[in-house]
Structure 1
Amino acid sequence: MSDPLSGSGSTSRTPGREPAGSRPHRGRTRRHDAPTSLTGLAVKVVLLGLTAAIALWAAFPLMAGEHWIGLGVLAVTTAGLFHLYLTPRHVPAKYLVPGTLFLIAFQILPVLYTASTAFTNFGDGHRGGKDEAIVAIQTASVQQVPGSTEYAMTVATTGDPATGALVFLVTDPDTGAVDVGDADGLRPLDPGAVTVAPGGRVTAAQDYTVLTIGQASARSQEVTDLVVPTAGGALRSSGLSRAYEGRAVRAYDADCDCIRDAESGRTWTADETEGSFVAADGERLAQGWKVNVGLDNFTRVLTDPTVSGPFLTTLVWNIAFAVGSTGGTFLLGMFIALALHSPRMRGTNVYRVLLILPYAMPSFAMLLVWRDMFNTDFGLVNSLFGLGVDWFGDQWSARVAVIVVQLWLGYPYMFLVATGALQAIPHEVTEASTVDGASPWQSFRAVTLPLLLVALSPLLIASFAFNFNNFNAIYLTTAGAPFPADNPGNGATDLLITYTYRLAFGGQGAEFGYAAAISLFIFTIVAVISAVSFRRTRRQEEVYA
């Protein structure tokens, strides 16, 4: 409305203030109007393009395997990422989502897969499905019979001649056609893509590397073991240049759900609870299939006397090793830090550089050096002290040796963190205790140590968890030795992690399901101990806050 005093139609306003309706939205306007930098745009385009490429790369195997749930999760995740980074909203999520996805991919999913594997019999002889087991049993029993067709054969590979997967290039004696065979069967080759010498031997083939006689001879066992399924039986090698199509002695009978041996007449019936073909006398065929066994792997650890005894012994030693390694490195590192923290100490920088050298060197190399230093015949330890101790031959000396090695490798870390914590303690606090008449030991016990533990307790818990699963410290020094004569699979210095590794990848046959169950035991033990320790740490922080 008009101002009657001024006689004008202008709106009255308070000096120094602007009308609310005309006040500019400075922050919002600046954010929306600011041009996007060329570098930021390029980075966004590259990252989103890489995301799309990875999604497409992962989509085709999912479609080929008919994993529609996984394909749906992939599509939703990719669409969500594009929506998130192509809109100006949800700024905090732009930073949180990548870390969350990596956490799910590299932490949560492996844990869930390990947990699911622990309830199965997955391992050597039980890796695939029942149909795959039947094919493997039948092809492994193929024998040459009178009248079997023989082929000229050439051994080839699609990769490195020394390590690549082998295939057979076989020439039909009647038609001259060339086929390529592997564990999945025979596939015809284009006549224009192969070169065949007189006699039917293939000398060159497109996309394949033909092995020389010397190269094939070096892998003769793999050549002998390769069986190529065919409609009439299977194809096996006869030397390095010939192959025959034989007949399977053992065949699957769907009526009885069993494997029959045509020569001996024996029968192995399918046992769906164990994933094996079992004869009436209890004999099992080596090739089985993966099935769910429930809690069998867990109960085996606790109830099987051949397993529970060594497992509990290993668990006790495992806890002792983790406590000894963590406590020893902490005490040594703390006392060295206290000595160098004294104002009367000179040349502290030089000492600190020298003391952290073990931490600066590769641990795996130092573990191998220490293994040789403890050697009975030429080791430095025995030579220096005039001893004749077989350090790795007796269980207690071997345990002492690995703790000493871990003490040498671990104290620099504790020394560094203790030095930092000591420097953070106010000098007035320790001075006050001295003024009150406390001795140096009383001042350390009542003031310095509690304040150190408040700062270092989380690091001690993390160090305990690390040492509880310190695979390298054991495997690179003793490899679990010494082993008792009645149990070569579980050594005196084995931790649960090295015992699990030997079960999963040992030469006596892998047991991935059983190893996964032990891994869950390890996870539970470390989680419980860490949770209790963190609770005590919080109480300690409340007392000294």
Structure 2
Amino acid sequence: MSTRRSVPTLVAKIFLVTVTISTVIALTPALVAAGRWGWLIAFWVLALAIIAVYATRRLVPLKYLLPGVLLLLTLVVYPVVSTFQISLTNYGDGTRTTKEETVAQILGSSVVQTPDAPRYNLTVATTGSTTTGPFVFLLVDPTDGEAQVGTAEGLEPLEGATVTDGFVTEASGYTLLTPTQVNAAGPVLQEFSVPAGDGSAIRQLGIRQAFLGSTPLTYDESADTITNSQTGVTYRPELQGDREFFVDGQGQRLSDQSWGSTIGLANYVRVFTDGRILGNFLKIFAWTLVFATLSVATTFALGMFLAVVLNDKRVKFQKVYRSLLLLPYAIPGFISLLVWSGFWNTDFGLVNDLLGLDVNWLGNPTTAKLAVILTNLWLGFPYMFLVVTGALQSIPEELTEAADIDGASGFTAFRKITFPLLLIPTAPLLVASFAFNFNNFNAVQLLTGGGPFTPDNPTAGGTDILISYTVRLAFGASGAQFGFASAIAVLLFILTGLVAAFQFRFTKGLEDKA
């Protein structure tokens, strides 16, 4: 019997070790080529840890702890560290490229065509997206029919391509763009050029042609300056806000293009020094606390009330009632929220029709907040009903019977015995529910979109909580500000942790009293 058991175990160990080593070996060349030494060390340490723990009969406790530790590092620690790192940068729209790439784009966009500039038959292709690239130029010289591929690094011979009527019509590894796709990618292609040496570059000329032109700009890497040879003006990097631009002596920008860079704690300073942002942050933080607190309190109160009522043995059809009460929990939340957004409609919403009202629920900040709370009550009370129903089963009936013999009323027995005993197992779940509602993005975004908004402040809505406000900053119409949004996300993480820690201390006090 032991031999039969050991064979599958041995096979499983061999398979695990083989897969682990093979995966790390396969990743090593790519990590070395990319210079990701930290990731290389981490993967090899992880591989050795897995082999040491699972390939031997020793370290038995680690066989169970290692998966949990890996999930903790992957799903919690790494995202938090990455978010903090991004919060120290100005990463966002307009700063997604490196400084070297930005300089190349500035020089490339300044290329001008001369009357005798050579031209090429052009086919635009991509190795990625047809709208964002990365793009390449598949060029054919009309004089000799030679095909070349132009990238951001320069020109290379194009081997194995099919050339028809002087144009590349097929090339292995590339997706060729149609004229319609070339037009759609126009804004990106306008900034793309192929370096050709000696200050010259190849740029697009219409849909089917490209030209070899020259630029009056030269970049001095040692001095970190760009000089216009025609005007003699020199441009140097200067910090303006959270971004750097090449500017002349009078502060005039050579280009509106900037690049990603580390700006330290500037995003955090901005949160607490920018009056408008600070005002929004404090106002939204206060509403977030109210929203999370009321969501937990109302759902727990209603769920507990229904659970206590249906826990009475004198109630018939308990299973039927309990099944019906779980229906809101069984329906996907995003569907319920979209349905409820229609219920709150002023003109044809179910709420106004049933109550005979004419209230613009989602158009007024106060009524919109009330609508969000009530909708979240509908979504959340079945969970609390389940939790309390389970907790009630663990309370000995002898305690309530003793209270009844001593003459205590039903409410007194509930207040003195049942409720304190309920709080002990449910308090940690209430803390978790508070943390969930503190970041309950769907409840706000799908119901009100964070609104209503005022004309003077289209960034922060009347029902925005911190997470929806952060998402709007990161992906709003004014342009993505990933660095700034990450700073707010880190602050949100800290606030949630502090509140949860305080609440856990409270639950610890309940256990001590018990």
TM-score scaled by length of structure 2: 0.92
d(CA) in 1 for partners of 2:145, 2:499: 70
d(CA) in 2 for partners of 1:384, 1:246: 72
Among candidates 107, 125, 131, match of residue 156 of structure 1:
125
Q: 5 Å matches for 1:417-496?
A: 417-496=387-466
Among candidates 228, 235, 240, match of residue 194 of structure 2:
228
Q: Given the superposition, is the C-alpha separation of residues 60 and 506 from structure 1 closer, same or farther in structure 2, using an over 3 Å criterion?
A: farther
Conserved 8 A contact 1:258-1:270: yes
Conserved 8 A contact 1:503-1:515: yes
Q: Given the superposition, is the C-alpha separation of residues 123 and 50 from structure 1 closer, same or farther in structure 2, using an over 3 Å criterion?
A: same
- Give the partner amino acid of 1:187: E
Q: Which residue of 2 aligns with 1:204?
A: 170
Q: Given the superposition, is the C-alpha separation of residues 79 and 222 from structure 1 closer, same or farther in structure 2, using an over 3 Å criterion?
A: same
d(CA) in 1 for partners of 2:190, 2:447: 38
Q: What secondary structure does 2:310 align onto?
A: helix
Q: Which residue of 1 aligns with 2:245?
A: 277
Q: Given the superposition, is the C-alpha separation of residues 215 and 255 from structure 1 closer, same or farther in structure 2, using an over 3 Å criterion?
A: closer
Among candidates 44, 56, 61, match of residue 87 of structure 1:
56
Q: Which residue of 1 aligns with 2:96?
A: 127
Q: Which residue of 2 aligns with 1:44?
A: 13
1:164-200 Cα distance to aligned partner (Å, 9 max, x none): 754321112333221223444433211xx112122x2
- Give the partner amino acid of 2:284: T
Q: Given the superposition, is the C-alpha separation of residues 139 and 375 from structure 1 closer, same or farther in structure 2, using an over 3 Å criterion?
A: farther
Q: Which residue of 1 aligns with 2:337?
A: 367
What displacement does 1:82 show? 1.8
- Give the partner amino acid of 1:311: F
Conserved 8 A contact 2:452-2:462: yes
- Give the partner amino acid of 2:44: A
Q: What secondary structure does 1:532 align onto?
A: helix
- Give the partner amino acid of 1:148: A
d(CA) in 1 for partners of 2:114, 2:354: 69
1:224-258 Cα distance to aligned partner (Å, 9 max, x none): 45443442443332222112233345543446533
Q: Is 1:70 aligned to residue 39 of structure 2? A: yes
Among candidates 484, 490, 500, match of residue 514 of structure 1:
484
Q: Given the superposition, is the C-alpha separation of residues 492 and 185 from structure 1 closer, same or farther in structure 2, using an over 3 Å criterion?
A: farther
What displacement does 1:396 show? 1.2
Q: Is 1:114 aligned to residue 83 of structure 2? A: yes
- Give the partner amino acid of 1:517: A
What displacement does 1:359 show? 0.8
1:370-427 Cα distance to aligned partner (Å, 9 max, x none): 1222223332222333333222221112111111111111111000001111121111
Conserved 8 A contact 1:62-1:68: yes
1:26-71 Cα distance to aligned partner (Å, 9 max, x none): xxxx9xx856543323322332222223213332222012233432
Conserved 8 A contact 1:326-1:463: yes
Conserved 8 A contact 1:194-1:202: yes
Q: Given the superposition, is the C-alpha separation of residues 58 and 495 from structure 1 closer, same or farther in structure 2, using an over 3 Å criterion?
A: farther
What displacement does 1:281 show? 4.9
d(CA) in 2 for partners of 1:202, 1:380: 61
- Give the partner amino acid of 1:138: L
d(CA) in 2 for partners of 1:227, 1:401: 54
- Give the partner amino acid of 2:274: D
- Paired residues in the alignment total 510
Conserved 8 A contact 2:299-2:384: yes
Q: 5 Å matches for 1:218-297?
A: 219-224=185-190, 226-231=192-197, 232-248=199-215, 250-254=217-221, 256-261=223-228, 267-271=234-238, 274-279=242-247, 280-282=249-251, 285-297=255-267
Q: Which residue of 2 aligns with 1:170?
A: 139
1:84-142 Cα distance to aligned partner (Å, 9 max, x none): 32222112212211221222122111111212222222222233432222122222333
Among candidates 501, 504, 507, match of residue 471 of structure 2:
501
Conserved 8 A contact 1:272-1:291: no
Q: Which moved more, 1:520-529 or 1:127-136?
A: 127-136
What displacement does 1:496 show? 0.9
Conserved 8 A contact 1:150-1:244: yes
Q: What secondary structure does 1:142 align onto?
A: coil
Structure 2: 5+ residue runs without aligned partners? none
Q: Given the superposition, is the C-alpha separation of residues 241 and 452 from structure 1 closer, same or farther in structure 2, using an over 3 Å criterion?
A: same
d(CA) in 1 for partners of 2:95, 2:190: 22
d(CA) in 2 for partners of 1:509, 1:143: 30
TM-score scaled by length of structure 1: 0.87
Among candidates 406, 410, 414, match of residue 376 of structure 2:
406
Conserved 8 A contact 1:258-1:277: no
What displacement does 1:323 show? 0.7
Conserved 8 A contact 2:219-2:225: yes
What displacement does 1:516 show? 1.4
Q: Given the superposition, is the C-alpha separation of residues 204 and 127 from structure 1 closer, same or farther in structure 2, using an over 3 Å criterion?
A: closer
d(CA) in 2 for partners of 1:422, 1:293: 54
- Aligned-pair RMSD on alpha carbons? 2.5
Q: Which residue of 2 aligns with 1:531?
A: 501
1:151-172 Cα distance to aligned partner (Å, 9 max, x none): 1111233467688754321112
Conserved 8 A contact 1:259-1:269: yes
- Give the partner amino acid of 1:245: L
Among candidates 152, 158, 161, match of residue 194 of structure 1:
161
Conserved 8 A contact 1:259-1:277: no
Conserved 8 A contact 1:322-1:464: yes
